Amino acid sequence: MQPPPDPVTDWYWQSGADGQLRFLTCGDCGYRTHPAGSVCARCLSGNVTPQPVSGLGTILACTVNVQQWNSGQEPYSIAIIGLDEQDDLRVTTNVIGTDPYAVKIGDRVQVAFLQRHGYYYPLFRTVEDG
Amino acid sequence: MAARFEHDSIISGIGQSAVGRRLGRSATDLTVEAALSAIADAGLTREQIDGLTTYPGGDSFSTHGYGGPSPYAMMEALRLQPKWFSGSGELPGQLGAVVQAMMAVSCGLARHVLVYRTVTETLGQGSGGRGAIYDPDGIAAPTMAGFIATFGAPSAVNWLAMLASRHFHEYGTTREQLGQIPLTGRANAGRNPRAIYRDPLTMDDYLSARMISTPLCLFDCDVPVDGSTAFIVSAADHVASMPSQPVYIEAIGSALTQRFSWDQQADLTAMASTGAAEHMWSRTSLTPADVDIAELYDGFSILALAWIEALGFCKKGEAGAFLQGGRRIALDGELPLNTHGGQLSAGRLHGFGFIHEATVQLRGKAGGRQVPDVKVAAVGTGGGPIAGAMLLTSERV
């Protein structure tokens, strides 16, 4: 599905144009607020801007969607990823490029953008640890 | 314990329409049937109904049979003139509509409030099943799942499957343990003539069922139905003049203590049920050991598992062991669970079926599935990003 249009978060879906994943980052306390809002969710500062992260993270939870929401659809992986930069910085996404049934909690992953509908969807691929 | 607003009102009447798959009846039609039944059960006439509340309110949730008729539609259908009415889905779980009714009674705005929840989800889906309501190129709803549905995760089954995967990972919970929830529901449904699926379900059936979103299979998902459930919440002094046995509301729990989200809560194995349960226990002198039956939301089986932990029937992370073998939650176990079959087997009446069943059991009117001498029932509705809990009793505590 396409993301809901929102002037506060539209940049998030364009961030991958240069290959970088960004989160709304507080210039005062450093906290990253996701999904993005008008102010820093921790200190309420308005000094917030999108700043890049490494795009590396760990799978915290995952599922293989088997139900065919559209006929002929193959099973695919949906996962919650914890980003390296902050304990509570998380995204739900798809893990691609591997057997969906092989994806497991604890796997290391890196962002890999998919361009569609005019957006850059932050998907992830598994990577070797280290 | 100091006086609480919960003690200002009682459940004086209950009613339920026909419940089934593709009944071909409108939401308002079903609601009229349930409402008239509840009004009669409370010993009232239509003219005495001076309040009206519902979850989620039809006008704002009109899609695919999820929302029932709006309060406006019911006022018109029954020519009611309420002093208070509301229809809202932005509440602490589905039972939030009951709490709205209790608040209207407690503050004196109304004396007899009609509360209802109606679904026509099989009618809404037509012949295409759930797939017919998902457009992969559509635009995700902004709240709840705007950052989730975007990734081919259109359904709560996907979101809860991930939370289940985390519970399995952290605590070693197994499918065999989780499967006791649908198996127990099905066994109870066999004793409930109004349930949708009544044929026995075995562990082999469960383990070999097709996957929907791992680790959740078909039998972990509730069954969409058409049907309406209604209650009358009355001022407590109505007890003296009512024909049926009253049911008392000992405490409600409505607190939300985590982020409103399916994937951003601090503990991925806990859900909104945690805050609601803690809040409920803070409002009563009763404890989990006093509970005779538990009617816990099982829109997906993992939600009921989370409720068992949240309400303190076992320790955090130990629901798998608690469910092992199914004896504890059986009809003759220490904590009979979802005695009518739950939404998994008796139909997705979206929270209100559990309140209805708790009331029937507390009155001792559950026939072949009656648990002996039920005095205290725990009800949990919702449980993902929002939740509401309620403790009902057969006598005032």
Complex ipTM value: 0.96
Tokens 């992830």 belong to which residue? A124
Strand-pairing partners, residue B84, are B51
Closest Cα of chain B to A27: distance in Å?
22
Interface size A-B, in CB pairs within 8 Å, comes to 121
Query: Per the CB < 8 Å rule, is A63 touching B137?
Result: no
Other beta carbons less than 10 A from residue A11's beta carbon:
13
Of B80, B105, B25, B43, the residue nearest B240 (C-alpha)? B43
How many Cα atoms sit within 13 Å of B126 on the Cβ side? Answer: 6
User: β-strand B51-54 against B112-120: which pairing, if any?
Assistant: parallel
> Does A65 sit within 8 Å of B213, measured CB to CB?
yes
Cis peptide bond N-terminal to B154, omega within 30: no
* pLDDT at residue number B126: 62
- Taking the CA of residue A129 and the nearest CA in chain B, the distance in Å comes to 20
Interface contact flag, B154 A71, Cβ < 8 Å: no
Is residue B71 a contact partner of residue B57, using CB atoms and an 8 Å limit?
Answer: yes
Query: Does the beta-carbon distance from A78 to B140 stay under 8 Å?
Result: no
A65:B165 CB<8 A: no
Give the C-alpha distances (Å, rounded to integers) separating B211 from A6, A67, B206, B216, B341: 35, 7, 10, 6, 21
Residues sharing a CB contact under 8 Å with residue B14, sequence separation 6 or more, in sequence order? B37, B38, B41, B229, B230, B231, B232, B356, B359, B360
| Structure confidence by residue, pLDDT tens digits, B247-273 | 999 999 999 999 999 999 999 999 999
Do residue B139 and residue A93 have CB atoms under 8 angstroms apart?
A: no
Q: What is the mean pLDDT of residues A31-52?
A: 97
Distance, CA of B198 to CA of B185 (rounded, Å): 9
Closest C-alpha among B156, B77, B138 to residue A65: B156
- In this prediction, residue B143 has a pLDDT band, given cuts at 50, 70 and 90, of low
The stretch A85-105 carries a mean pLDDT of 97
| Chain B closest-CA separation from residue A32 CA (Å) | 13
For residue B172, with 0-12 CB atoms within 10 Å meaning exposed, 13-18 middle and 19 or more buried, which class applies? Answer: exposed
Q: Any CB–CB contact under 8 A between A78 and chain B?
A: yes
Residue B129 pLDDT grade (very low, low, confident, very high; cuts 50, 70, 90): low
> Is residue B209 within 8 angstroms of chain A, CB to CB?
no
Please give, rounded to a whole number of angstroms, the shortest distance from the CA of B174 to a CA of chain A. Answer: 15
Question: In whole angstroms, what is the distance from residue B233 CA to residue B52 CA?
Answer: 10
Amino acid at residue number B16: Q
What string of DSSP letters covers B301-356?
HHHHHHHHHHTTSS-TT-HHHHHGGGTTTSTTSSS-B-TT-HHHHH---TTHHHHH
> Residues B290-306: what's their mean pLDDT?
98
pLDDT at B368 over 60: yes
Q: Where are the beta strands (DSSP E) in A22-129?
A: 22-26, 32-33, 48-52, 56-65, 76-83, 90-96, 108-116, 119-126
C-alpha dihedral (B21, B24, B27, B29), degrees to nearest 10 = -120
Asked if B214 and A2 come within 8 Å (Cβ–Cβ), the reply is: no
How far apart CA B332 and CA B191 sit, in angstroms, is: 13
Q: Quickly state the pLDDT bin for B67 (edges 50, 70, 90).
A: confident
The pLDDT of residue A6: 87
Whether B75 and chain A come into contact, CB under 8 Å, resolves to: no
Distance CA B2, CA B13 (A): 27
B210 contacts A4? CB cut-off 8 A: no
A78:B166 CB<8 A: no
Question: CB–CB of B228/B117 below 8 Å?
Answer: yes
Q: A24, A91 in Cβ contact below 8 A?
A: no
| Residue B68 Cα, gap to closest chain A Cα (Å) | 25
Sign of the Cα torsion B264, A78, A111, B142 reads: negative
H/E run at residue A116: strand A108-116
Please classify residue A17 by burial: count the beta carbons closer than 10 Å to its beta carbon, then call 0-12 exposed, 13-18 middle and 19+ buried: exposed
| A64: chain B residues, CB-CB within 8 Å | 211, 213-214
Side chain identity at residue B114, one-letter code: L
Distance CA B137, CA B152 (A): 10
Q: Please report residues of B whose CB lies closer than 8 A to that of A93.
A: 151
What residue of B is the nearest CA neighbor of A71? B131
Which strands sit side by side in the sheet containing A32-33, from one edge to the other? A32-33, A22-26, A48-52
Mean pLDDT for B276-285 is 98
**B162–A78: do the CB atoms touch at under 8 Å?**
yes
Dihedral sign for Cα atoms in the order B134, B137, B141, B145:
positive
Phi and psi of B355, rounded to 5°?
A: -65, -40
- Three-class SS state of A3: coil
Q: What distance in Å separates residue B122's CA from the closest CA in chain A?
A: 17
Interface with chain A: mutation pick from B157, B214, B220, B265, highest number of A CBs within 10 Å: B214
pTM above 0.90, yes or no: yes
Q: Tell me if B254 sits within 8 A of B380, measured CB to CB.
A: no
**A102 CB within 8 Å of a chain B CB:** no
Q: Measured between CB atoms, does A71 come within 8 Å of chain B?
A: yes
What average pLDDT score do residues A81-97 get? 97
CB contact (8 A) between residue A61 and residue B162: yes
Predicted local distance difference test score (pLDDT) of residue B144? 62
Residue B95: pLDDT band with limits 50, 70, 90: very high
- Mean pLDDT score of chain B, rounded to an integer? 94
| Residue in B28, B83, B34, B79 with CA at minimum distance from that of residue B58 | B28
The reply to whether residue A64 touches residue B211, judged by beta carbons under 8 angstroms, is yes
Using a CB-CB cut-off of 8 Å, the residues of chain A touching B385 are none
Chain A partners within 8 Å of B137 (Cβ): 1-2, 117
Find the residue in B nearest to A93 (Cα).
Answer: B151
Chain B residue numbers with beta carbons less than 8 Å from the beta carbon of A79 are 162
Asked whether the predicted pLDDT for residue B306 surpasses 60, the reply is yes
Q: What is the pLDDT of residues B321-355, one digit of tens each?
A: 999 999 999 999 999 999 999 999 999 999 999 99
User: Does residue B148 sit at the A interface (CB-CB below 8 Å)?
Assistant: yes
List pLDDT tens digits, range A16-28: 999 999 999 999 9
Q: How far apart are CA A61 and CA B96, in angstroms?
A: 30
User: What's the pLDDT at B141?
Assistant: 73
Across the range A79-107, mean pLDDT stands at: 97
Which residues numbered 3-62 in A keep a CB inside 8 Å of some CB on B? 3-6, 34-35, 60-62
